[in-house]
Chain A
Amino acid sequence: MKSEPYDSHGGPVELPLSSRAFEELLDVCPFLEVDDRSATLHSFGSRLKQFWLPDEPILYIGKAGTSLSARTRAHYSTKIGATGPHAGGWWLKMLTALPELTVHYARHSNPGAAEDALIDQFARQLSHASRSNLLDGNRVGPFANVRIPGLGRIRSYLRIPARSKYAFPAIPTTLTMFVRGEKRAASWHPGNGRLGRLGLSTALMAELVVPGMPVHIEALNIATASSTRRNDNNRLRLTIPSEFLTASRAQLSLSGRPLQFIMTTESTRFCRPAPSEQPRNRARRS
C-alpha cells in the first residue's frame, strides 16, 4: 500500500490525520487513551506521528493468506475501531489521504514468509533520520503495520484469554499492581473480542516477559495486596478493586487465596491455581 501524493510531489509528507476519522474512532472506542489519559485529537495525532515515516511512500504491507480479493474487501469494509472483518492496517483509515492510496500486489507461495521478508527489508532500508524519529526504535516497519515480525504480537500489554477474564473488571479501568514490591498502575481493557488487555508498558513487558517463559499474575484484593511485601522475580501482583469483586469472582479466588494466572508470550492460555491451591474435590477426582 503506498501513498500517491508522495510520488507526485517527491518530498516528505506530514501525517495527514483526519479529524473526522478520529471522531468516528471515539464513537466506537469512547475509552480511548494515550498515556493513561483520555485521547484528544492532538494527543492521538502526536502519538501516531511517532510511527509516521514522512519520507516513506509505503504505508502498509499485508498478506492475503487465501483470497486476495477477499482480503482487500475485508480491509476496505472494516470500520475504524472495529476488530473485524480484518483490523490489520486500520491506522490507514485515520488518514485524509486514504482515497489516494494504491494497493500493489504480488503472488507468493508462502504469503506469511513474504510479508515478514518485505517488512524486514523495509526496515533495513529505512534511513537513520526516519528511524530516530520513531517512538520505538525496535519497532521498525511501515506506518500501519502494528505487528512487526520477530517482536511478538504484543510488546506493551499482556493478553488475557477470555477464560481468565472473569477475575478482571468488566469495564475498562486502571488497576493497581505490584511488581517486585513496587506499586504501579496498569490499564485494563476487557476487549471487544476474546482477549482482554493488561497494559504494562513496553519497558516493563521487556523486563518481565521472556519468550517461552511464563509470567505469573496473582489477582489479589486490596487488603491482601497491602500486606504483600514479597519481591518475587517475574511475578506480578494485581489488585482488583473491591467494587469489581463480584460473588463469582470471589468464589473463583478459591476461598480468598490468591488466584494465579500463568501467562505465556505465545498462544497461551493458562489460568490455574498454584499446585498448593488446587481445590480438594479436584484433587480427589484425579
Chain B
Amino acid sequence: MSTQSMFMTSSVGALFDQRGLEWEGAVKWQHRIPYNKPGYTRFR
C-alpha cells in the first residue's frame, strides 16, 4: 500500500483538509523523514 493510499483511507486526510493543511507524506514508525526535499528539514 502506498503512503498516498494509506492516507486516503484514514481520517488523517480529513483532519488535515478541515484545518487547511496539505498532506506531504508518511513514514512507518522508526523510519526517517526524508531529508532530500526542500522544507523537510526545517519549517519556515
Chain B 1-44 residues near chain A, CB threshold 8 A: 3, 6-7, 9-12, 15-16, 18-19, 21-33, 35, 39-44
Q: Which single member of A68, A102, A114 contacts B28 (CB below 8 Å)?
A: A102
Whether B33 contacts A68 by the Cβ 8 Å rule is yes
Whether B19 contacts A72 by the Cβ 8 Å rule is no
Mark contacts of A65-86 with chain B using CB atoms, 8 A cut-off: 1 yes-contact digit, 0 otherwise: 1111100110010000000000
Interface residue count on the A side (C-beta < 8 Å): 34
Q: Which single member of A56, A102, A114 contacts B26 (CB below 8 Å)?
A: A102
- Mostly helix, strand, loop or mixed at chain B's interface? loop
Q: A58-B15, A106-B16 are in contact. Are A72 and B43 (CB under 8 A)?
A: no
Check A248 for interface membership: any CB of B closer than 8 A: no
Whether B29 contacts A98 by the Cβ 8 Å rule is yes
Most A CB atoms within 10 A — which of B21, B31, B44? B21
* Separation of A58 and B26 alpha carbons in the complex (Å): 13
Check A96 for interface membership: any CB of B closer than 8 A: no
Whether A104 contacts B29 by the Cβ 8 Å rule is no
Q: Which residues of B contact A68 (CB under 8 A)?
A: 33, 40-43
Q: Which residues of A contact B40 (CB under 8 A)?
A: 68-69
Closest A-chain residue to B31, C-beta based?
A103
Q: How far is the CB of A2 from chain B (nearest CB, A)?
A: 5
User: How many A-B contacts at CB < 8 Å in the complex?
Assistant: 96
Q: Which residues of B contact A125 (CB under 8 A)?
A: 15
Closest A-chain residue to B32, C-beta based?
A69
Whether A2 contacts B19 by the Cβ 8 Å rule is no
Check A118 for interface membership: any CB of B closer than 8 A: yes
Q: Which residues of B contact A57 (CB under 8 A)?
A: 10-12
Binding site for A on B (CB under 8 A): 3, 6-7, 9-12, 15-16, 18-19, 21-33, 35, 39-44
18 inter-chain pairs at a CB distance below 8 angstroms, sorted by A residue, are A4-B6, A57-B12, A58-B10, A58-B12, A66-B43, A69-B41, A72-B27, A72-B32, A99-B28, A102-B27, A103-B27, A103-B33, A104-B25, A106-B21, A108-B21, A109-B43, A121-B18, A121-B19
